[in-house]
Structure 1
Amino acid sequence: MTSLEVSTQADDSGPSSYAAARLRLLGEKARSGPPRRSALARLTDDWLAALFAAAGPPRGAALVAVGGYGRGELSPRSDLDLLLLHDGSADPGAIAALADRIWYPVWDLGLALDHSVRTPAEARKTAGEDLKVQLGLLDARPVAGDLALAGGLRTAVLADWRNQAPKRLPELDALCRERAERMGELQFLLEPDLKEARGGLRDATALRAVAASWLADAPREGLDPARRRLLDARDALHLATGRATDRLALQEQDAVAEELGLLDADTLLREVYEAARVVSYASDVTWREVNRVLKARSARPRFRGLLGRGGAGKPPVERTPLAEGVVEMDGEAVLARTAKPERDPVLPLRAAAAAAQSGLPVSLHAVRRLAAAAQPLPVPWPAEAREELVTLLGAGESTVPVWEALEAEGLITRLLPDWERVRCRPQRNPVHTWTVDRHLVETAVRASSLTRRVGRPDLLLVAALLHDIGKGWPGDHSVAGETIARDVAARIGFDRADVGVIATVVRHHLLLIETATRRDLDDPATVASVARAVGTLPTLELLHALTEADALATGPAAWSSWRGSLVADLVKRVAGVLAGEPAPEPEPAAPSAEQERLAIEALRTGEPVLALHTQPEPAAEKSDEPEPVGVELLIALPDQPGVLPAAAGVLALHRLTVRAADLRSVELPTELGGDATAVLVLSWRVAAEYGSLPQAARLRADLLRALDGSLDVPARLAEREAAYPRRRGLQAPPPRVTVAPAASHHATVIEVRAQDAPGLLHRIGRALEGAGVRVRSAHVSTLGANAVDTLYVTRADGSRLADEEAVDLAKAVETALR
């Protein structure tokens, strides 16, 4: 029970009366949003005013609300920001006693309090030294006492703010940028801070401060509703958690959605993202205007000197043509005086393409004029419109702010109606950095740097923009996306053949990365299946570029030089098949010199032999992002039961993450091995979770103990798993094990999808060993918290499992993992 709730049980007067009324108000479901915040502020005003009056205040004293309380916006667990203002004429002891009579009852109720005691001069001096104090005083509101004293302070602070605006606004801009860098962008975060993240309540307050400076003003359309939506979400968060928190954690989102009467957590996030996007766009426009005004002011004295005493004192305004109907002015793309958007339906795309190609933002006035006057494009689009869209998408990084400007005024959904379903749509997979719509734009940005690798850059850019468009629909987003992409491509004017290519690329945009990381590329069935799906070399070329762009736009965990080399290897093999080259029959790959040396040593000693080698990055497809150190671990030992689970368990105990695993039997010349001629060689690609890599000698010692049973790997892993950090209230989806029946002609392919955890591959290996099957190779893929492990298994004699056996094996593995 909180101190506030305890207080309601005391008596019916004073603090307990306020506490009871406060609890009743917060419990009224019918009153929420702005009415509840205002009512809570009024209730608090009345209580504090009564405390102030009961304390017998001296003359020349006032109680002033500042910050959010000053604006009358009290959330259920908001701090009370209070200033006890006095004119300095009263005895300091009397002022201190007055403060105690107000502060202590607030603390006794368990309410958070941010308080200060100052004279007007002290308040102005502190504001001049501390920008945050000055911002709080801009919303100063008298609660009790000398109203003239409080009103005079607010007037003086506003005058100071306006006089100091050329100095303070750049400071505020820098403060907002630093906070955005530290806290991230609210519109893309899975667990956003509603107050501190970019596009949150702090930025909305900063826009109010800019407006109060009279130097510039924020775009007002939609800004107040967006701010109210964020405040409503914070109110619900406070009520759902009972805490003064601004962080919308995953485990709280369902309760917050229910408090707001929303369908689910995704609906909540989408509304929050939409609000944050409005605030972020308003911030971009406002700070651009602030900087333009400040730059113009600093240039005026120089122009006065150039013009002489009789000059007008205004710098000349230059207009540089960018495209038909579009010019550059003051660092922005604006419409030319002769532009006629009501007669030129291509103008929005032409203006956007010209701005992006020039690295300029589109002026707010231009975008709004286009949104108000532009006519819809005919369907199919004329060639010029399609070309301007491709030009916009191919501009690189400068595409993003231009696209955001068009989207803020509703132009994107008018051009591409299917965009509405993915707009601000959250992605629950933590691997993804962006919402669905922003990911599509980022993929086009990444693809723009790869256009020299393909014969049809226009198809690549449009496919990049559309590849996840199906995520707004139920079912497999690739299947749904193929249909939508076909319709959109036809709508924007591509011919039937090009429409087919775009649809195929969207349908199979995950094919290369999933196949390369989860299938045996030495198996001809793998390559043949990809070749059948892709169909032609130009389509393969486009798919290869899109695969890289998509992964790079997803997040740092989705792409690396290692993944790139696997995809490139697959593409090379598929290209050979599509070019008519005969597919080679599968043959056991010849062991490397290192593998053969280790195998001979293992055969000679009868014990495991290990070697650790740091793998250099492939020469091609280097990534700009650092990736964990990749290490090849080779283990050679006489073939025996339990090798896979033992080796995987030991690696897990040493905190090594397995990225790929290959198991093969190496045939040695009889003269080297005596009667025995085969040795099992395990080739692993591993990375240390953190810290340095373990020594090979320690791994070998633990592997020996695991094989002879003296090291209880399952028990040790269970201890680690019990201590594995889990988020409170979150339940991982159950594992799913399936059979890919046509993935290989020479082995049965089992695919395991599960929550990543220490020892997962060990548990899979134990289940397979228990079923009496042999693992030919394993392909491990981990993205965020999700693991997808593909295993090629055979009977002990090397033959494929029958269909019924494969299904039973999948069920057994799934049961073991549950």
Structure 2
Amino acid sequence: MSLPRPTRPRAIIDRRALTLHLERLAETAHAGREGARTARAALLEDLKATLAAGREEIRRRFEDEGCRGAEVCAANTYLMDQILRVLHDFTVTHLFPKQTRTTGEQLCVLAVGGYGRGEMLPFSDIDLLFLLPYKTTPHTEQVVETMLYVLWDLGLKVGHATRSVDECIRQARADMTIRTAMLEARYIWGERALFQSLRNGLYTRVFAGSGMEFLESKLAERDQRHAKLGDSRYVLEPNIKEGKGGLRDLHTLFWMARYLYNVSDIDELVDRGILTPKAAGKFIKARAFLWTVRAHLHYLSGRAEERLTFDVQPRIAERMRYKDRPSATAVERFMKHYFLVARDVGNLTRIFLSVLEAQQKRRPMLSVPGFVMRARNLDGFVLDGRRLAVPRIDYFEQDPRALLRLFLVAHDQSLDIHPDTLRLVTENLTRVKGLRDDPEANALFMALLTHRKEPDSILRLMSEAGVFGRFIPDFERVTAQMQYDMYHVYTTDEHTIRAIGILNRIEGGALVDRLPVASRVVHQVQSRRALYVAVLLHDIAKGRGGDHSELGAVVAQEVCPRLGLTDEETETVAWLVRHHLAMSRIAFKRDVDDRKTIEDFAGLVQSLERLKLLTVLTCADIMAVGPGIWNNWKAALLRELYYRTVEDLLGNHATEPQDRRVEARKTALREALADQPADRVETHLGRGYPGYWLTFDTAAQARHARLIFAAEEAAGPDDRVIMVDTAVDADLGVTEVLVYAPDHPGLFSEIAGGIALAGGSIVDAKIFTLTNGMALDSFTVQSAEGGALDQPSRLGRLKAMVHDAVSGTVDLRAELARKARRLPARTKVFSVPPRVIIHDEASKTHTVVEVNGRDRPGFLYAVTAALTQLNVQIASARVNTYGERVVDVFYIKDLFGMKISHPGKLREIQRVLTQAAAVQALESERGAVVSREVGRGRRKPTRAAE
């Protein structure tokens, strides 16, 4: 296979001049062993300088002259080819000269792998095959060994094999990986006849008659690779080589073409009628774009990096001259281009497989397992093999509604759509616009959206074919749209389609163990259609420069009537879209034990119907964000909010006086502690304020009591010990950290700092001071992965670290700053401006403060230390992390146990917490918020939730 030569090749490497220069070393090489060693050292120095100069010239062209990735590949391949040729000639001519070489001493150097196909990027491996006619001889062994040592000394990563022609053919028969490598073998230098012999032997003795075996192997390999990397081309940090829609998918297509047709270039597939010029053009454009992105990625990373991480995305966008626009930043526009290219790669795969099937006259490569032919109503379509197809080429022209009906029939009948028919769909997309106001077409779309059987799969195919976006133009605006943050895993369109799929699974009972409430109430809602349309439209207005919930509600008012929804359903959808974040915000950021929280939420939803719809929508939305986002703790918070709101809406909230409810809790605890001395129990019952008795259940209160009793037994006459205990709740996926210690200013921040150092993430905190002056603080903690900390070693470290933090034996500020500096570079690219919001109306008894900022180890420590400095009491806290953004909500009072309402004090709280939330505050040696003097104010005994 011949490769294109780069422009001005001698500026990269002048092989003739280099060879003439090395000839002057020949006499030294012949002067004994010492002379050969000297010559080899001089050879190495010359090649090092030549390689470095060539690479610098290629980089300069790429970065300064704006050449593309294809030119980088061609130039790097050319540079390496010339170095190998010079190295080979010098080795066989001067280092190990022979007057005559026998047939067995012939040698051919071949490139395989990415180097073989000419895809050499700055830090690509060098894959070589040293080809022999027979087994290795001492002479060829010396030559190969010397060449490899020089290449390794040049700092190259070399993959190599030395085989005879027969060995290559034998191993290619037995191993598909070796067979693929042989397929890409390219002649570099040496005995060309050996290469021709290998090529002929491969095509006649290995490839012939095994085309279908190779294709099925490569497709299975591709599917496994996709599954390993998430099976989506719309992940926000894609692997541009191995990911779905990446370079490896293009490699797979070309491998199949070369294997079956013995072609060396994409243009040959057009000449043979295998690909249309348009499809070939898309292949070339997609490959060129991915090569350019990959070249930038290699140069920026300084290594063979293949993952487009968040930290490099904006830099590549800048290098490729993307600009900010009102609707999207430069990096978002660059990534949208990437995802559209990945989609083109998927379309090329379907087209190519269709052609291969037709040419090879075989069963479909994308057939449905267990397919049984039976009589069926195809609604005007026909079967081509086992796939749905149009009866004639002008079918969509005569019947435009068939552009939607095609997908419905295919889904109803569990049929694949023939790739040729999908190609006709894309060629007739202009006809979709005329269907938008057609009631029958809209009915077809609604049948697809609300299909009882996995509507997400057919909607995804509709989207990739372009029909979805053309029929719902607002959806086209969010197609391939990324959100540049660490919370969202998928593009907006992929997230939406996944949410629809999750809604369908909720409805089908597949998630009843994880979502028992949603799985039950989904069958109680009055408008199933409104629910599905609300999920479709909940993020439809993202990227428009405003509140996407409010803007989305406007879109819903326009789209719903067109889809055939009634006025009542339209109003419901618009309300759901406008408030689709409300339930999660309240469940995760508010204290549901505060009566006003429930009253406010019940006032928002107003009816059980809306509450049920919003509950299901919220669950589907969160679960579709990405793996690991949903957990049992979040599920429990949502369930609690749902049940309490139901009670309020039905008028069943507790009306029993507080003192009676407190006494009932105490009576239950007496029974739970029946094994303890009665006087000890009664003393304990006198320690807690009403808020404590009404917050925890009896089991938790019994556990707390036994910890306090143990502390009293361990303490000396004048000693007040610090007790730390942990309890794992596997059902909720959380760990409770309970701390019983002498109350003192800054205790909350010390505990928070200790938990952070132990690798825990606080999601909830309840703070109480007992009448004996001791603090009883309960922290709900998860691991960084969103589950419980349950391993004995981690629990031991957690308890020890919290104990050391509270006792003052660890420098929290220094240790947390050190931990923050160890964060991966990709996580440091995001900037989250600190923001403090005071929700004065959220509680009648507490001031509710919300602190937003850039997540880092010790964020909660810094903020709570600042609250201590402000001489306020923390009653409870809710902590949420959304990717790189952390949102902490605190219920606070002043030193006298009163809600803070003075404007001056509220402004001071806002100012000091904003400083604390800034990333640099923790790392600054002079930061007032986190200095050792912080938090020396008094902590008055707290009557939390009294």
Would you call these one fold, judging by a TM-score over 0.5? yes
Offset at residue 640 of structure 1 (A)? 5.4
The answer to which of 710-719 and 461-470 deviates more is 710-719
Structure 2 counterpart of 1:199, one-letter code:
G
3-state SS of the aligned residue for 2:853? strand
Q: Deviations over 1:104-135 (max 9, x none)?
A: 55445434433333332222222223322221
Gap change, CA 1:141 and 1:600, over 3 Å in 2: closer
- How is 1:256-655 mapped onto 2 (pairs within 5 angstroms)? 256-263=316-323, 264-283=330-349, 320-326=375-381, 330-335=385-390, 340-373=395-428, 375-376=431-432, 378=434, 381-395=437-451, 398-451=454-507, 452-453=522-523, 454-578=525-649, 590-591=693-694, 592-593=697-698, 598=704, 612-615=726-729, 617=731, 628=733, 630-635=734-739, 641-655=745-759
The partner residue of 2:781 within 686, 695, 720 is: 686
Q: How far apart, CA to CA, are the structure 1 residues paired with 2:83 and 2:852?
A: 58
* Partner Cα distance (2:437, 2:134) in 1: 73
Map 1:79-118 → 2, pairs under 5 A: 79-88=125-134, 92-99=137-144, 103=148, 106-118=151-163
Judged with a 3 Å threshold, the aligned counterparts in structure 2 of structure 1 residues 260 and 715 are, in CA distance, closer, same or farther, namely closer
Whether the aligned pair in 1 keeps the contact of 2:351 and 2:420 (CA below 8 Å) is: no
Match of 1:13 in 2: 18
Instruction: Give 3-state SS (helix, strand or coil) of 1:433's partner.
Output: coil
Amino acid at match of 2:479: R
Q: Give the fraction of aligned pairs with identical amino acids, expressed as a percent.
A: 27
Closer, same or farther in 2 for the Cα pair 1:104/1:529, shift >3 Å? same
Partners in 2 of 1:481 and 1:208 — Cα distance?
Answer: 43
SS in 1 for 2:541: helix
Q: Provide, for residues 457-516 of structure 1, a one-character-per-residue CA deviation record: whole Å limited to 9, x for no partner.
A: 211112112212222322333233333333333443434433332222112111101110
Q: 2:123 aligns with which of 58, 77, 101?
A: 77
Partner deviation per Cα, 1:22-60 (whole Å, 9 max, x = no partner)? 532332124323244334434544554455555459576
After TM superposition, give the deviation of residue 145 of structure 1 in Å.
Answer: 4.3
Letter in 2 for 1:13: L
Aligned to 1:237: 297
Correspondence 1:139 to 2:184: yes
| 1:259-309, Cα deviation, whole Å (9 max, x unpaired) | 33334443333333333333345446766887999995799xxxxxxxxxx
Residue 238 of structure 1 and its aligned partner are, at CA, apart by 2.3
Letter in 1 for 2:505: S
Give, in whole Å, the separation in 2 of the partners of 1:710 and 1:111.
52
Contact 1:323 1:351 survives alignment (8 Å): no
| 1:444 Cα offset (Å) | 0.4
SS at 1:792 equivalent: strand
If the length of structure 2 is used for normalisation, what is the TM-score?
0.72
Q: 1:177 aligns with which of 220, 223, 230?
A: 223
Using the TM superposition, name which of 366-375 and 725-734 deviates more.
Answer: 725-734
Q: Partner of 2:916 in structure 1?
A: 816
CA contact (8 A) 1:317 1:330 kept: no
Q: Following TM superposition, by how much is the alpha carbon of 1:749 offset from its aligned partner in structure 2, in angstroms? A: 0.8
Partner of 2:675: none
Q: Which moved more, 1:282-291 or 1:326-335?
A: 282-291
**Post-superposition shift, 1:750?**
0.5
Q: Distance in 2 between matches of 1:726 and 1:242?
A: 16
8 Å CA contact 2:738–2:778 kept in 1: the answer is yes
Q: Which amino acid aligns with 1:254?
A: P
Query: Using the alignment, how far apart are the partners of 2:434 and 2:651 within structure 1?
Result: 43
Question: Which amino acid in the other structure matches residue 129 of structure 1?
Answer: A
Residues 773-813 of structure 1: CA deviation (Å, up to 9, x unaligned): 12222112234444321111122233221244223212212
| Aligned-partner Cα distance in 2 for 1:799–1:718 | 33
Residues 223 and 599 of structure 1, relative CA distance in 2, 3 Å threshold: same
Measured against aligned partners, the alpha-carbon deviations of 1:127-171 in whole angstroms (never above 9, x if no partner) come to 223322221222333334444542342243234224222333333
* AA in 2 matched with 1:141: R
Amino acid at match of 1:733: V
- Cα distance, 1:748 vs. partner? 1.1
Aligned to 2:867: 768
1:796 aligns with 2:832: no
Tell me whether 1:657 sits opposite 2:761 in the alignment: yes
Query: Secondary structure of 1:449's partner?
Result: helix
Change (3 A) 1:544 1:328: farther
Q: Say which is worse superposed, 482-491 or 559-568, in terms of deviation.
A: 482-491
CA distance in 1, matches of 2:359, 2:609: 51
The equivalent of 1:151 in structure 2 is 196
User: Equivalents in 1 of 2:220, 2:768: separation in Å?
Assistant: 59
The one of 31, 49, 54 aligned to 2:67: 31
Contact kept in structure 1, 2:830 and 2:884, CA below 8 Å: no
Q: Deviations over 1:346-369 (max 9, x none)?
A: 322222233334444322122222
Please list every run of 5 or more consecutive structure 1 residues that lacks an aligned counterpart in the other structure.
1-6, 300-315, 618-626, 667-675
| Change in 2 beyond 3 A, CA 1:380/1:125 | closer
RMSD over aligned Cα, in angstroms? 4.2
Give the aligned partner of residue 718 of structure 1: 816
Q: Residue 762 of structure 1 aligns to which amino acid in structure 2?
A: Y
Q: Rate the CA distance shift 1:249–1:701 in 2: closer, same or farther, 3 A.
A: closer
Whether contact under 8 Å (2:111, 2:186) holds in the other structure is yes
Aligned mate of 1:744, from 837, 843, 847:
843
Aligned counterparts of 1:32 and 1:551: Cα–Cα separation in 2: 40
Partner residue of 2:77 out of 30, 41, 45: 41
Consecutive unaligned residues of structure 2, counting only runs of 5 or more, are 1-11, 20-46, 262-268, 324-329, 366-370, 508-521, 659-689, 713-719, 919-946
Deviation of the 1:438 alpha carbon: 0.7
Preserved CA contact (<8 Å) 1:595 1:636: no
Alpha carbons of structure 1 residues 61 and 714: separation in structure 2 relative to 1, 3 Å: closer
Other structure's SS at 2:425 match: helix
What amino acid is aligned across from residue 571 of structure 1 in structure 2? Answer: Y
Q: Secondary structure at the match of 1:143?
A: strand
In the alignment, which residue of structure 2 is the partner of 1:622? none
- In the aligned structure 2, how far is the partner of 1:473 from the partner of 1:319? 49
**Is the partner of 1:214 in helix, strand or coil?**
helix
| Distance in 1 (alpha carbons) for counterparts of 2:436 and 2:348 | 34
Higher mean displacement: 607-616 or 690-699? 690-699
Instruction: Give the Cα separation in 2 of the matches to 1:167 and 1:520.
Output: 61
After TM superposition, the structure 1 stretch with the greater mean CA deviation from structure 2, 414-423 or 715-724, is: 715-724
Aligned amino acid, residue 809 of structure 1:
I
What corresponds to 1:303 in structure 2?
A: none
Give secondary structure in 1 for the equivalent of 2:335.
helix
Length, aligned pairs only: 775
1:600–1:27 Cα change, 3 Å: closer
Amino acid at match of 1:561: N
Are the structure 2 counterparts of residues 501 and 279 from structure 1 closer, same or farther at C-alpha, using a change threshold of 3 Å?
same
Is the aligned partner of 1:252 residue 2:252? no
Structure 1 158/811 Cα, relative in aligned 2: closer, same or farther at 3 Å?
farther
Cα distance change on mapping 1:615 and 1:73 into 2, 3 Å: closer
Name the CA distance, whole Å, in 2 between partners of 1:695 and 1:131: 44
Shift of the 191–382 alpha-carbon distance from structure 1 to 2, 3 Å rule, reads: closer
Find the counterpart in structure 2 of residue 311 from structure 1.
none
Contact 1:49 / 1:144 at 8 angstroms: preserved in 2? yes
